Structure formats: structure tokens, C-alpha cells
Amino acid sequence: MSINTKLLKAKPLQKHLLEQVRTKVTEYTNNGVNLHFSVISVGDDEASHLYVKKKIEIAEECGIETHHISLPVNTSQNNLEELIDALNNDKEVTAILLQLPLPKHLDGLKAVNKIATLKDVDGLTATNTGLTAMRQNDAILPATPLGIMRLLKYAKIEPKGKVATVIGQSHLVGRPLSNLLVDAGATVINCHIDTNDVSYHLKNADIIVSAVGNANFISGEILKQGAVAIDVGMNRDENGKLCGDINIQSCMGQLSAITPVPGGIGPMTVTSLMTNIIDAYTMQNNLIKTNWQF
């Protein structure tokens, strides 16, 4: 039996949240406070520069001052960490983001962990990761998992009591998202490179999240009818067209809802980054955290 599949587009929620960010930034500016967002990128990776450009564009639209520090590809680990230390110690800098991935000769995890906990608006330092896992309110949550949870809530999709299969166990998406879904009451199965039969876990899942980075890796025919699919993948198909990990056409009439690529999780990641900048400022100054409405 074919069902009506809803596209979970991020634009309405993104607009609503960014309006709240602009309101807070205006409030701070009127009180003589300017929020400053520093973004570091290393090398000339085209995709990374496009992501940085979008983040800076949205931040500036919200009234947040930005500074993009583009380092050459041969930057040393020591020079990168010295830069991060300088930004940590700069009282004018509210938020720091290190654009990943880095060139292979650099240790990205080590560099990320140099970022001050309360300036880590990507929520990727060991401290913020631990606080997230321990369900602490003072954690800065990773932007993509936070965006996913917000989109589910906005679409009135309740994880409690559901089986959620997350494909991918990176510290950017898979692992922190699994923690957030468990916190929301879901029974979570985390599939990874050593999982023997991914399809088995997919066909029994009420919520599927794919963060593999493999174009059209999942076909709708193997998924449970009425399930919800969250596609974190950003790939290009054989024709060079942007697509996700999930073949969206094969899911129409099979799933109850699915995020499109582009227009789904990507905008939610950038939006959650903006709310994290506000949250970082409030925690740095012992203010009441914003109760984001959506």
C-alpha cells in the first residue's frame, strides 16, 4: 500500500530560529556587545570553502561579526594550535570553529581539543562530547545532531518508544546523535563499518539516519513502511547532481517522511551553529540560556 511521503524541508524551521538569533544579536548590540565568530580553514579544499562561506554568510546576516582565517595547506600542527590558543585568549572572540576535515598531515581531533570549551560552537571537544553523553545542560551540542533533533521535534516525530538505526559512528554525527536519541527515549542501533547486515537493522527501524557519504547507498524498498528517514549525506551522483545517502525516489510512497538533499539537514546544521554562538555567549557570561522556540 502506497502512503503519502512528506518531505522534511528545513527552510521554515531555519527561518523561525534565525529570526530569534537576530533578535538576540540586536539586543546584545544595543547593549554595546558585539558577538565575534572566528572560522579557521586549512588548505584549498573546495567543499570546505563552500561550507565556510555559507556559515559566514548566515552569521553576517544575523548581525554576528565574522573572521575567516584561511591557512595554507602546509600549515604545521604547532602553528595551527598556536592560532587556536590566541583566539582562546582573545576576549573579543565569542566563538571558534575549525573547519573539518583537515589535510592529512594534521591531527584534527587534537586541534579541535585545543579550542576552549565555551568557545567550541561545533560542540566537538572532548569536554563538550562528554557533557553531551552525560546529559548535562551546560554542554554545547554538536550542530548537526542538534539540528536533526530539532527537525524531528518541529515535524512532531516522537523518538520515544521507537527503534532508531543510525548508520555511521563519527564523533561529528553518529555517536552524539545516538546519545541524543537515547535521551529522547528511542532504542538506538548504531551501524558501522563492521556491522555484518545493515539491511536487517534498516528494515526494522522506525527512524533511519544515514551519515555514510555514499550516494544512493540506501534504497527505499528495504525500509519499513511508514518509517522516517534522515539523510545526512551530501554526495554527487553519476551526473554530478547533489544527492544524499538515500535514494529519495525509491522512498516515495514507502516512508512517512524523509529529508531532501539539499534542503534538509544542511540548513539545520548551520542554523544550530548560530544558536550555539548565542548559547556560548550566555554561558561565558553566566546569563540565562535562551529558550529556543520551535
Residues assigned a catalytic role: 55, 99, 122
Are the beta carbons of 277 and 292 closer than 8 angstroms?
no
What grid cell was written down for 206?
522506525
- The strands making up 163-167's β-sheet, listed across from edge to edge, are 6-7, 257-258, 228-231, 207-210, 163-167, 187-191
What grid cell was written down for 95?
566563538
> What is the Cα–Cα distance from 58 to 163, expressed in whole angstroms?
34
**Please, which residues bridge with residue 210 across strands?**
167, 231
DSSP strand E in the chain: where? 6-7, 36-42, 65-71, 95-98, 163-167, 187-191, 207-210, 228-231, 235-236, 242-243, 257-258
